[in-house]
Amino acid sequence: MQFLLILGVLGVLAQWYWVAGSLNTNNDDQVFSITPKTQAEVDVVKNVSSQYETVLWSPAAPEFIREGAEVHLFVPGNSSQAVRELLRTHGVTHAVLLANTKELIEMQTRNASTDPRSGASYYEKYHTLEDIYHWLNKTAMENPDRIKVILIGSSFEKRPLYVVKLSAISTTITNKKAIWLDCGIHAREWIAPAFCLWFVQYSLSFYETNRDIARILDNMDVYVLPVMNPDGYKYTWTMDRMWRKNRSIREDSRCAGVDLNRNFDANWCTEGASHDPCSEIFCGEFPESEPEASAVASFLRRHKETVALYVSIHSYSQMLLFPYSCTRDLAENHAELLLMAKEAALKIKRYYRNVYKYGAGAETIYLAPGGSDDWAYKLGIKYSFTFELQDRGQYGFLLPPSEIPRACKEALVALKTIALRVIEKIPPPA
Ligand code: 0X9
Ligand code: ZN
C-alpha cells in the first residue's frame, strides 16, 4: 500500500516535472534570428534545426530555408551551447530575438482566474480549450436567436469540433450565402482562436451599430470554427507550447501529428509537404486522413453552394494570402483576389500603421500543397484566403495578450473589407 502511495506521488511529480519542463518554461530558452548568406550557411542552419533539439518557428520546415531569408529558431536552454558552437564554427552569425520566452509564456497563460487584478476583458486574453468550450456554450445560450452551434465531427482524441453559425435575426431570407472562418489549424498559433472569439463577440455586440457588420450579416451567415485542432491546442497548453500539428498517432512511427494544412486534397503531398511523420509538414497517410480535416472538408462539401468566402486564420508573419499555394500557377480570378487582398492590406496600413504582405501563397510565402484554402478554392469557393496575423517575429507565437486587440482589429478590418467586396459580387438574398 505504502509502495503504491509512493509510486503514485512519484507519478504525479514526474508528470508535473514533464509538464513544467516540456512547456519550455526554462529560463535559458531563446529564439535565434539567423539569416544564412550562402548556400553553405543554409545547409548549416538546416542541419542545426534538424539535428538538435530545436523548433523552427519560421519557416515552418527546414526545406523552406533559403539564402537571404530570415530564420527564427527556438533553442531550448539545454541545446543552446551546442547550437551556438556549431554556428560559430561555420561562421554563421545569429542574433537573439527573444531571451525571455519563459516570461512570455507566463504572460500568455495568465488568465482571469490566476490573475484577478488584470483589467483586461475576456477577449484580450488567451484561453484554454476547456474555457473556449465553456465560452461557446455560454455565448450560444445567451444569444439563441443569433447563434446555432453545429457539431461537425471530432478530433483524433475525440474532442468535439463545434462550429458557431452566426446569423442576423431575420429569418425570412431563403438563399443567403455564407462565410466560413476557421481558426487554430496550427496549434501554437494562439492568436488565431483568440481572433475567432473576438470576431463572434464583435459581430454580436456591433450588429446594431456598425454598418459594415450589419451589411455582412444581413447578406451572409458566418460559420466560425474557433479551434480546428483542439488536440494540438490542448497540447500547447499542457505539454509543448511549440507544437504545430494535430496529435494523431501511428503504430509505425515514434512521431505524432499530421500538419492539417497539408492534409487536404489540393496537389496533396507534392513539393512543400513531407511523407515523414516526424516532419512539421507531414501530410498524413492520404488526403483527409485526419478527422479534423475530413470534418471540415465534409461540411464544406455539403455547403459548397452557400459558402462564398473561405477564410482561415494563422500566424505569424502578417500576410493576406490566397490560392494557389499548391502550385505556382495563377488562380483563374487571381486579379480579383489580388485586388481584394490589396484593399484589405491598405486599410490595415491606414487604420493601424502596420504592413501586411499580400499575394498568392506560392509566391508570397512558399509552395505548400494540401492546404485548406486551396482545397476550398478547388471545391468552387472562389473567394478563399489565409490570413497570417501578427507579428513579424518580434514575439512570434508568444505574442503578449496586450497585443491581442490590435492584432484582432487588423484581421477584422481585412475580413470586413473582403466580405463587403464579395457581397457586391454575389446575388442578393431574396
Ligand atoms: O504553411 C502553412 O500552412 C501556412 N503558414 S504557417 O506559418 N501558419 O504554417 C501558410 C498557408 C498558406 N496556404 C497554403 N499553404 N495552402
Ligand atoms: Zn499556421
The Cβ-side half-sphere exposure at 75, using a 13 Å CA radius, reads 30
Q: Answer for the pair 75, 29: CB distance below 8 angstroms, yes or no.
A: yes
- Which residue among 64, 186, 373 is best mutated to probe the pocket of ligand 1, counting the most ligand atoms within 8 A of its Cβ? 186
Three-state DSSP state, 404: helix
Which range (81-85, 108-112, 195-199, 245-249) has the least confidence? 108-112
pLDDT at 118: 67
Confidence of residue 7 (pLDDT cuts 50, 70, 90): very low
Cell 500543397 appears where?
A: 369
Is residue 325 within 6 Å of ligand 1 at its C-beta? Answer: yes
pLDDT at 372: 98
pLDDT at 338 over 70: yes
Confidence of residue 23 (pLDDT cuts 50, 70, 90): low
Is this structure's pTM higher than 0.85? yes
Q: What is the mean pLDDT of the chain?
A: 92
Catalytic residue selected from 189, 288, 292, 388? 388
pLDDT at 9 over 50: no
How far apart, in whole angstroms, are the C-alpha atoms of residue 116 and residue 125?
Answer: 13
**Residues 225, 271, 83: CA angle, nearest 5 degrees:** 85
| 347 C-alpha to ligand 1 centroid (Å) | 23
Is residue 280 within 6 Å of ligand 1 at its C-beta? Answer: no
pLDDT at 411 over 90: yes
Give the relative orientation of helices 191-206 and 211-219 as an angle to the nearest 10 degrees.
90
Taking CA atoms, 65 is separated from 54, 187, 359, in Å, by: 15, 22, 20
The backbone torsions φ and ψ at residue 427, rounded to the nearest 5 degrees and listed phi first, read -65, 140
pLDDT at 24 over 70: no
Handedness of CA 151, 156, 157, 158 (dihedral sign): positive
pLDDT at 365 over 80: yes
From the alpha carbon of 372, which atom of ligand 1 is closest? 16
- Average pLDDT score over residue span 202-210: 96
pLDDT at 169: 82
pLDDT at 19: 40
**410 catalytically annotated:** no
- Which residue among 386, 391, 397 is best mutated to probe the pocket of ligand 1, counting the most ligand atoms within 8 A of its Cβ? 386
Is residue 389 within 6 Å of ligand 1 at its C-beta? Answer: no
Confidence of residue 430 (pLDDT cuts 50, 70, 90): confident
The backbone torsions φ and ψ at residue 339, rounded to the nearest 5 degrees and listed phi first, read -65, -45
Q: Answer for the pair 199, 412: CB distance below 8 angstroms, yes or no.
A: yes
| 351 C-alpha to ligand 2 centroid (Å) | 25
Span 162-183, pLDDT tens digits: 999 999 986 677 789 999 999 9
pLDDT at 150 over 80: yes
pLDDT at 13 over 70: no
Confidence of residue 3 (pLDDT cuts 50, 70, 90): very low
Three-state DSSP state, 97: strand
In the numeric block, which cell numbers belong to residue 411? 484581421
Supply the residue whose CA is at minimum distance from atom 14 of ligand 1.
371
How far apart, in whole angstroms, are the C-alpha atoms of residue 425 and residue 421?
Answer: 7
- Average pLDDT score over residue span 32-59: 95
From the alpha carbon of 317, which atom of ligand 1 is closest? 7
Which range (105-119, 274-288, 328-342, 356-370) has the least confidence? 105-119
How far apart, in whole angstroms, are the C-alpha atoms of residue 240 and residue 29?
Answer: 13
- Average pLDDT score over residue span 359-367: 97
Span 293-323, pLDDT tens digits: 999 999 999 999 999 999 999 999 999 999 9
Is residue 56 within 6 Å of ligand 1 at its C-beta? Answer: no
Which range (78-82, 160-164, 245-249, 292-296) has the least confidence? 78-82
pLDDT at 18: 38
Is residue 186 within 6 Å of ligand 1 at its C-beta? Answer: yes
How far apart, in whole angstroms, are the C-alpha atoms of residue 38 and residue 46?
Answer: 12
pLDDT at 113: 54
Cell 542541419 appears where?
A: 47
pLDDT at 237: 97
- Average pLDDT score over residue span 15-23: 42
Instruction: Note the Cα 208 to chain centre separation in Å.
Output: 30
pLDDT at 330: 98
Span 83-134, pLDDT tens digits: 999 999 999 999 999 998 999 999 999 875 555 556 789 999 999 999 999 9
Better-scored residue on pLDDT, 222 or 12: 222
